[in-house]
Structure 1
Amino acid sequence: MGLDTMKIAVIGAGIGGLAVAQALARRGADVTVFEQASEIAEVGAGLQISPNGARVLDALGLGAELRQRAVMARTVQLCDYRGGEVVRLDLGDTGQGGYHFLHRADLINLLANGARAAGVRIRLLQRIIGVTDGRRPRVELANGAGFDADLVIGADGLHSVVRAALNGPRAPFFTGQVAWRALVPNSAERGPEVRVHMGPIRHVVSYPLRGGSMLNLVAVQERAAWTAESWSQTDDPQSLRAAFGDFCDEVQGMLAAVDKVNLWGLFRHEVARAWHGEGLAILGDAAHPTLPFMAQGACLALEDGWVLAAALDEEGDVAKGLVRYQALRESRARRVVAAASTNAWKYHLAFPPLRWAAHTALRAGGRLAPSRMIRQFDWIYGYNAIDAVGQPVNDG
């Protein structure tokens, strides 16, 4: 069955859902996106699009608009929480292409406009209560209606209805970390760099957005207590300031400007065992939710969307296309998720001699082999989803 004869339902109008919808519609499929919110909007937060994600946006015809809206990142600076640079890395040394700082809402708008221009229908206020697998899968809506399709794609996040249908119900687990996020004015006129202040069991990431007019802040703390997983839960800014009260003056200046802050617990499922059934598939956080410590959640969803559409198109058969999609994507997703899960400890060393030794090693590496330090993640940033369908299936 060619894509030009397929009727496809996508659940969720987030980054992965809108990307796969556009990729499929551009190949001739009849695509409808179901979104439970009343509008396509994102809460105020920033994200990073590294070269692997930008390649997908370029292929979707959205690259020029990405670069118009984004701040192009130039460097990564790791700092001690008490002040002082540990190491500075030039992103130009990677040779992989541009790194982009982007407001999440800007990326969602870009993808939504691209999807609509490709002919995708986006239906709002559509709460999904269940899906049925089979050669003719069905979406069940809370209003009592149903929608039959040739393929149903779950891009519905951590609490995915489609993931549960494929893998059984299982609650995500709390990782022992919470994160605050906020936007503040860039009053210090910070340039286009990521800055990470590393302290005992905590760190703060900051980088500019929207032409450099504001800074995106993400502050992470290890915590034994369970915290509700939610992107919309707010917190008192004073709680954030108290948690990082011993950090340096630069961090205090940024935190003093926070007047609204969201707090969420960092939760994960294991990478899904089954990414597809007979007529169901999942992608993005529904398949492999990842912690934010490699800034790859959005990029993995973009990669998934492109590869799923390309595999279905190349194979010309739903069953073969879905098998190829999981085979191409699973090992890479597992490797990125594992890297993100183990990266936080590097920022959170609490034992002073260990922290001193680690920072000394970072300084030496930055002085003696800066290119090697930044290029250790070439396997992430150099990945090309556009060419992936033609590669061996286990190439992570």
Structure 2
Amino acid sequence: MLSLEFLDLSKNNLSGVIPKSLETLLQLKYLNLSINILQGEIPTGGPFKNFSAQSFASNAALCGAPRLHVQPCTNSTEKPNSKKARKYVLKYIVPGILSAMLLGTFITLLIVRMKRNEEVATNAILLPDQHWRKVSYQELLRVTSGFNESNLIGTGGFGSVYKGTLSNGMEVAVKVLNLQLEEAFKAFDSECEMLSNIRHRNLIKIINSCNEVDCKALVLNYMPNGSLERWLYSEKFCSLSIIERLNIMIDVASALEYLHHGYPIPIVHCDLKPGNILLDENMVAHVADFGIAKLLGGGDSMTQTLTLATIGYMAPEYGREGIVSTRGDVYSFGIVLMEIFTKRKPTDEMFDEEMSMKQWIANLLIQDAIVDIVMPIYSRKRQIKILCGRGIFYRPLWD
């Protein structure tokens, strides 16, 4: 380590002699060997000629020049036994130096990583102003043909979503909030905050926003294949294959992993369900609707809220006590996972206090009868055709 500039080995209970080899550290500007049990002569060459008595204080057996406030060296101490000196160096000094170097490297890497996290958070906050702008109510009227019913994509608890086309030909989804609902204002602020700061391939992206007195709206990426709920239950759409269902849930899991662990502050979606999972032209899933999402700041692993999510998908502790945590999203993910492979909603009439969806699936697994529920969703011949068409060697699906 010829470029070493700073070395502090004080208060380490080090014994033995100070290695003469340290004289070769010509870049060494600071050395602290105080409060140890070192012995022998203090080297005089290289950087040692610049060190003061403070560098060697509280080492009673050291000797050297008077300016270092140690005893003068005698013949007996000037030439210690070479084997003993080598033993002390190998046993104490070298491990001490290596430990100090490793500790310094670790601290440096930790500081660098903390700075990177701060930069990521800062960039995330600055990013929205650079990539999306506010639009007027008149512009929204133009791109949606006056919010024509023919462009209505769907409605939700806080407003409606319309399909629109920008001047550059880009198709978008315009989410207009119902201003008669007080909760809609909170949902608008929450969704703006969340979507403007996060970036992931499996999350819906915000393009523009409208924040006027008589209009609160978000302009989002248009998802041509609609929601997962429509694919599961609408007769107008063909059934999804087993592979497509699995890929969709992998996309959703990736989005949740980013929200919970990939952003500087954990984000809880709070309302994960098929209606909030949108599919693009390539059937890639995007998690949407962050109207009631929560940030877990200050190192908290959970928080509380009075806002209720969708019945059947929210975790028990959320419904009973309003406790919000990442575990609640994982619970909702599990419900959607069971629903997508069984095509049964958690609120199906067959489920009551005695039989929940979770218990129903558990019983089927115990009876080894889960294939009887999954297989009718998609014809066996068509499933084989898709698997073979993708180059996947076919084996019985229940294996």
Q: Which one scores higher on RCO, CA 8 angstroms, separation ≥ 6? A: 1
Max Rg structure: 2
Question: Would you call these one fold, judging by a TM-score over 0.5?
Answer: no
- TM-score, reference length from structure 1: 0.24
Kindly indicate which of the two structures has a greater share of residues assigned to strand. 1
